[in-house]
Copies of this chain bind each other. A is one copy, B any other.
Amino acid sequence: MDRKQLPLRADARRNRERILNAAARHFAAQGIDTSLEEIAKAAGVGSGTLYRHFPSRDLLLAALLRDSQEKLLAQAEAARKIDHPGTALQVWLKALQSHLRTFSGLPAPLLAAIKEQASPLATSCQDLLSITEELLVQAQEEGQAKASVAASTLFLGALASAWAADHAEALGTTEEALDALLAQGYLTEK
């Protein structure tokens, strides 16, 4: 399928940009379940225009995540170059979790995306899962990660900890403490 796309009319291109800016602000401030109508209003466009550019909330989200996603893939590349595979896995998981915390409420649609292949978030999610698997297997081959752990379990754990991270302070704990709890489970002892 062609993905030609680009030659947007000047006003359309400007509107698209405005919508993305407003959405980034609102998603960051209120979480990803915030009202799309308000985003359209803040962007100074009619709600129909928002839907023309981003027919679903997931498509808008996917567009917003693109930057963070690319940064993450670069970090994956860096992790691959680390000698010690156990460390590489740890570095990767840390970067992954940071990505998953880009917006509050992000884990839920990402998880949903994995089930419904149709979602625009699905392929990128699959990529992240593949990278996790690749680095996990290498660590396991060197005996630096437990053989009993599956990549999907680790990935789900990362999603879960991102889900919880928003609320860590309110409960009197910290994101770091939560990460530490999770980080113990997959490494081989000592």
Closest to A159 in B: B164
- Chain B residues with Cβ under 8 A from A172's Cβ? 150, 152
Q: How many copies does the complex hold?
A: 2
Binary contact track A115-152/B, C-beta < 8 Å → 1, others 0: 10000000000000000000000000000000011101
Known contacts A150-B173, A173-B150, A189-B189; decide if A156 and B180 are in contact (CB<8 Å): no
Closest to A174 in B: B153
- The listed residue with most B CB atoms (<10 A of its CB), out of A163, A171, A181, is A181
Give the complex CA separation of A161 and B156 in angstroms. Answer: 9
If over half of A's interface residues share one DSSP class (helix, strand or loop), that class is named, otherwise mixed; here it is helix
- The listed residue with most B CB atoms (<10 A of its CB), out of A160, A167, A184, is A160
Nearest chain B CB to A183's CB is how many angstroms away? Answer: 7
Q: Which 8 A-B pairs have the closest CB atoms?
A: A181-B185, A160-B164, A184-B185, A160-B160, A152-B173, A153-B173, A152-B171, A153-B177
Binary contact track A56-75/B, C-beta < 8 Å → 1, others 0: 00000000000000000000
Nearest chain B CB to A100's CB is how many angstroms away? Answer: 12
Closest to A167 in B: B111
Q: What band does the interface of chain A fall in when counting residues whose beta carbon is under 8 Å from B?
A: 20 to 34
Closest to A181 in B: B185
The answer to the question of A8 belonging to the interface, with a C-beta cut-off of 8 Å to chain B, is no
Give the complex CA separation of A115 and B153 in angstroms. Answer: 29
- The listed residue with most B CB atoms (<10 A of its CB), out of A115, A183, A184, is A184
Give the complex CA separation of A185 and B180 in angstroms. Answer: 7
Give the complex CA separation of A74 and B160 in angstroms. Answer: 28
- Chain B residues with Cβ under 8 A from A181's Cβ? 149, 153-154, 157, 182, 185-186
- The listed residue with most B CB atoms (<10 A of its CB), out of A153, A174, A178, is A153
